[in-house]
Amino acid sequence: MLEVAAALEIVLRLARPSPPRAAAPDATALGQIVAEDLAADLDSPPFTKALMDGYAIRAGDTGPRTVVDELPAGKSPTIAVNPGEAIRIFTGAVMPDGADAVAMQERCERAGDTVQVTDSGLTAGKNVLPRGAEMTAGEIVVQAGSVVTPALLGLLAGIGRTESLLYPRPRVGVLATGNELVGPAQRPVDGQIRNTNGPMLLAQAARLGGIPTDFGIGPDDEEELRSAIQSALDLSDVLLLAGGVSVGDYDLVPKVLASLGVDIHFHKVRMKPGKPLLFGTFGGKLVFGLPGNPGSAFVGFELFVAPALRAILGYADPGPRVRPRILSNDLKANHDRPTYHPAITDDDRVTVSPWIGSSDLRSLARVNAFVVLPAGPVVFAAGTAVNTLILV
């Protein structure tokens, strides 16, 4: 059986960034990756500017100065500051010719048309930002590979970008399978249960930057499942199937995928929960068959789908993020496969959560990590460093 690392390698070999597309860089692009180097179109600031409310002066002058004009932000100076003169100026205004510093108004005494600067240590350049101090026209200020963040969106606006090349978000289709499944509005009867994987996986896909599409519930019937998968595949870049991927008589997903011509790269990974996980491709599309138990589907997503989505989005390091953390409690286990146990991490520590098994969503809803336990008997005392899968 494939180890997690080997399976992940296969997924990441086949998950490639989609061709970049021009898009308006706005808040809907948060978390996307810029696919080009971007240069400043202008010097910034575009003029030498006052950083304080006060008086634009010549630092070398002494004695009282005559106030000859007033300059608010957004107005061009019309006259220069000559020796013995000052111009009343406000934060963000263009520095007038002749002036080389701004005396803060809190350190000035004004009487009629005269101002006396009480700040004795005022030197040239004080409270002034020279033109081009932040960036000069033509300089590359955003590197390809940068993540779109709020500050980056501000920067893009600052360099006049109304469009830039971004790796597009993949459409992530989610189709839950199982005759026993009903929607959340329904009260389950006669062996039914509610479909919890659907909403969970859609949200996981959205959190990772995909465009989630809900394809509802497919039945455990070969013909009907084939047509449900076919339609979902048509409209998805990444398709997540949940349930029906194991070895039972009603686990039809592997068979149906094969009949549709999906290339199956692996089926089963040496991990717990989530062993029966399946990964295939169909043209450039990725297909994941996640086991139906919510814990299995969740861990399968975080270990394989999340890195695939990050790779498609153009992230240089797609993860998963596994880091050592210091155990807060003693931990004893004996699993036949490497096991991902729900846990809560806070800074450098991790605390294992109570968990009754892979159907236990209550436990998952409280955690932000999984402790990775090796196969076989393990006894970890509190204070031991353990590998921890950290959720985004």
Interface with ligand AMP (CB under 6 A): 176, 178, 180-181, 193, 195-198, 242-246, 248, 251, 291-294
Among Mg ion, ligand AMP, none, residue 176 binds (CB under 5-8 Å by kind): ligand AMP
Among 243, 254, 318, 319, binds Mg ion (CB under 5 A): 243
Nearer to Mg ion, 172 or 253 (CB): 253
Among Mg ion, ligand AMP, none, residue 307 binds (CB under 5-8 Å by kind): none
Among Mg ion, ligand AMP, none, residue 221 binds (CB under 5-8 Å by kind): none
**CB of residue 250 to ligand AMP, shortest distance in Å:** 7
Q: Which residue has the tokens 């634009």?
A: 56
Q: Is the dihedral of CA 35, 39, 41, 45 positive or negative?
A: positive
What is the rounded distance in angstroms from the CA atom of residue 198 to the CA atom of residue 175?
A: 7
Nearer to Mg ion, 242 or 371 (CB): 242
Among Mg ion, ligand AMP, none, residue 193 binds (CB under 5-8 Å by kind): ligand AMP
Kindly state the helix (H) or strand (E) to which residue 173 belongs, with its residue range. strand 171-177
User: What does the angle CA 307 – CA 312 – CA 314 come to, to the nearest 5 degrees?
Assistant: 95
Q: Which residue has the tokens 């990974």?
A: 269
Question: Please, which residues have CB within 8 angstroms of residue 297's CB and are 6 or more apart in sequence?
Answer: 197, 200, 201, 242, 274, 290, 291
Q: How many CB atoms neighbour CB 66 within 10 A? A: 12
**CB of residue 210 to ligand AMP, shortest distance in Å:** 18
Among 20, 173, 178, 294, binds Mg ion (CB under 5 A): 178
Among Mg ion, ligand AMP, none, residue 195 binds (CB under 5-8 Å by kind): ligand AMP
Residues 19, 166: contact at Cβ < 8 Å?
no
Nearer to ligand AMP, 142 or 253 (CB): 253
Among 96, 244, 274, 295, binds Mg ion (CB under 5 A): 244
Distance of alpha carbon 258 from the chain centroid: 34
For Mg ion, the binding residues (CB under 5 A) are 178, 243-244, 292
